[in-house]
Structure 1
Amino acid sequence: MSLWRIRTVVEDRPGQLAGIVDAVARHGGNVVGLSIHADVAGVVDEFIVDVPGDHRPLLRELAARSGSGGASARAAAERVEVRAAAERGPARAAAERVEVRAAAEREVLATPAQPREVGDEATRALLLTARLRAEPNRLPAALQELLLADEARWTNLTRPAAEFPEEPESTLLVPVGPLRAVRLRRADRPFTWTESARADALVRSVLPATGPAPTEGAVVTHRGTELFVWRAGTTDADAIQRLHRRCSPETTRRRYFAAMPELSSRMLGVFCDPERGLTLAARPARGGEPVALAHLMYTLDPGVGEIALLVEDSWQGVGVGTALVRVLTAIAADWGLAEVRADMAAANAPMRHVMRRVGATIRPPRGGVVQARLPVAGTVPSRRPGRLMTLLGQVGAPGSGTGAARWADPTAAR
């Protein structure tokens, strides 16, 4: 058995995944594991494949599929680079790393896999959570096992210098409280946004239970404007319709790609359907009519949510949109999403400004539409100190030192 972990960026159109599986079958391979990730490149499929004999012909075909066809695909297939991986430890001393950089920033990446990596990821994560309940100070070791990292250690969030010499994408910083974090290193493949969300969820599993992220309460914008935000329901239908009537055609066009002075009953139902997502309404703290709506909707891409905003004309430019996106991002992280996206018209400068302000990446226009993408892991802080946070606050606590301390056994120094 020759196991390989293969990652490839899959273009979001029908038949792409089937083509990859067909290619594996033609080369006598067997897919024994599949995971779908969200990342800066888009949707990334990760397979664990049992490949008999030489795996390189399969990698060349997958590289060609990752290209855009024709000469670019052939060029991608020719850029196969095989490098020794002896530096990654005895278990991989005789292994090869195969990296194929394809055209148009697409990539196929293959690294050796071990039989222990084949299994149900959800079961493994639940077992790690149970283990951490008994030994929360072993968090770095659990994160290392969860993400199959090469190394994990406590670090200070206030220390700007990198602790590992590798490229930034080979490390992942997982916040644990306001000052401390676990830094993970993995040399053979970059961490994805989905893996960041998984790490964030494992950290939260050992913090005290706080319930779901609130969807009702006071919000203050960066301009000092006070709002009250709540989850909109069917009883808010009339107020939502009045909000749309007060908005200019240009404002509703930015939101819906067409002027819409009134919503249909079907659209109102979608906005208030918890199976599709949620809609937040915002009004002035002193009371009154809603002045903005913020939507967070599920998508068919695993771990990805879609957000959209509607802000009344007279309330634009005072930080309402930015504040609502931050609230939606915290809720998305609480749902376990890895990223949120916003699709907008290329001419929608206010929404682009909001998304840039919260740190989103703006993709180039395509067909007059711009997409903003924002990773959301790490946006839900602990609201009460618990056992793990108490450990981190003690003198000599795990992670309170620097340098060689990799993790967390308080008795190790005794």
Structure 2
Amino acid sequence: MNLHVAPPPTPPETTIVVPLRHPDHGSVVAAIRTAVLADLPAVNRLHHRSALASRTARYFSPRRELREIEWRRQVNARRGRTWVTSTSAAPDDVLGVVQLLRTEHEGEYDLGLMVDDSWQGLGLGTALTVMAIEEGRNRPDCRSITALTGTGNARMLSILRGLGARFHDQQGNTITATITGWRSA
């Protein structure tokens, strides 16, 4: 993996810089920053570029884009935090989105991740997930982080397994992963 893991969470206005090595683009710098409402068109372009299998792995349906009302909820700071990632060479092209959003269960946050198909397998998803988990660990109200993923989503299962997730509640082709251990439940 040609990647340095992102540092612990930073204030929303700060951009985290992560060096990457892409087989087609060479050495590039990925910039990770807090998402804003104005990012919706770029996030939807990411969805349009993504293969059906990638969108289905993320949403369990073949969605082509997010509606504004959905994106508003995802970028609402009272619910948690959403980040977008782009490269210095193409700052208007989102190549990854990660969310850590409060659920209806007290102390529980949900993790969501989507990475551009051409950037998968390079460690970016792991770096984004680690960053989101560190954010959760630093939130006083967060006692656990859950992620619902497909049983066939090998990359996400590997990321979560590597971070010590406990897998449970398998229903059909989906399974829930939970990460805890930094605070009493």
Q: TM-score, normalised by structure 2?
A: 0.81
Name the SS of the counterpart of 2:171 in structure 1.
coil
Say how many residue pairs are matched.
Answer: 167
CA distance in structure 2 between the aligned counterparts of 1:314 and 1:254, rounded to whole angstroms: 15
**1:317/1:225 Cα in 2 relative to 1: closer, same or farther (>3 Å)?**
farther
2:3 alignment counterpart = none
Q: Which amino acid aligns with 1:260?
A: R
Does the CA-based 8 Å contact 1:221-1:322 persist in structure 2?
A: no
Displacement of 1:236 in angstroms is: 0.9
Whether 1:255 and 2:58 are equivalent positions in the alignment is yes
CA distance in structure 2 between the aligned counterparts of 1:303 and 1:333, rounded to whole angstroms: 11
Alignment of 1:93-112 (within 5 A): none
Displacement of 1:311 in angstroms is: 0.6
1:300 alignment counterpart = 104
CA distance in structure 1 between the aligned counterparts of 2:143 and 2:182, rounded to whole angstroms: 6
CA distance in structure 1 between the aligned counterparts of 2:128 and 2:99, rounded to whole angstroms: 9
1:346 alignment counterpart = 151
1:237 alignment counterpart = 40
Return the match for 1:269 from 51, 72, 80: 72
Q: Which amino acid aligns with 1:245?
A: H
Whether 1:319 and 2:123 are equivalent positions in the alignment is yes
1:312-352 per-residue CA deviation (whole Å, 9 max, x = no partner) reads: 10000000110001110111112121221101122222211
Alignment of 1:67-78 (within 5 A): none
| Larger CA Rg, structure 1 vs 2 | 1
CA distance in structure 2 between the aligned counterparts of 1:351 and 1:238, rounded to whole angstroms: 25
Structure with greater helix percent: 1
Displacement of 1:222 in angstroms is: 10
Return the match for 2:10 from 209, 213, 217: 213
CA distance in structure 2 between the aligned counterparts of 1:373 and 1:291, rounded to whole angstroms: 25
CA distance in structure 2 between the aligned counterparts of 1:252 and 1:293, rounded to whole angstroms: 12
**1:319/1:222 Cα in 2 relative to 1: closer, same or farther (>3 Å)?**
farther
Return the match for 1:362 from 167, 173, 177: 167
1:294-326 per-residue CA deviation (whole Å, 9 max, x = no partner) reads: 011101222211101011100000001100011
Q: Identity rate of aligned residues, in percent?
A: 25
Task: Answer with 311-320 or 294-303: which moved more.
Answer: 294-303
1:279 alignment counterpart = 82
**1:341/1:221 Cα in 2 relative to 1: closer, same or farther (>3 Å)?**
farther
Q: Which amino acid aligns with 2:10?
A: A
Gap regions ≥5 residues in structure 1: 1-211, 379-414
CA distance in structure 1 between the aligned counterparts of 2:170 and 2:128, rounded to whole angstroms: 24
Does the CA-based 8 Å contact 1:322-1:357 persist in structure 2?
A: no
CA distance in structure 2 between the aligned counterparts of 1:286 and 1:360, rounded to whole angstroms: 34
1:378-400 per-residue CA deviation (whole Å, 9 max, x = no partner) reads: 8xxxxxxxxxxxxxxxxxxxxxx
CA distance in structure 2 between the aligned counterparts of 1:356 and 1:225, rounded to whole angstroms: 27
Gap regions ≥5 residues in structure 2: 1-8
1:209-262 per-residue CA deviation (whole Å, 9 max, x = no partner) reads: xxx733432134699864210011111111111111111111010111001111
Query: Relative contact order (C-alpha < 8 Å, sep 6+): which is higher?
Result: 2
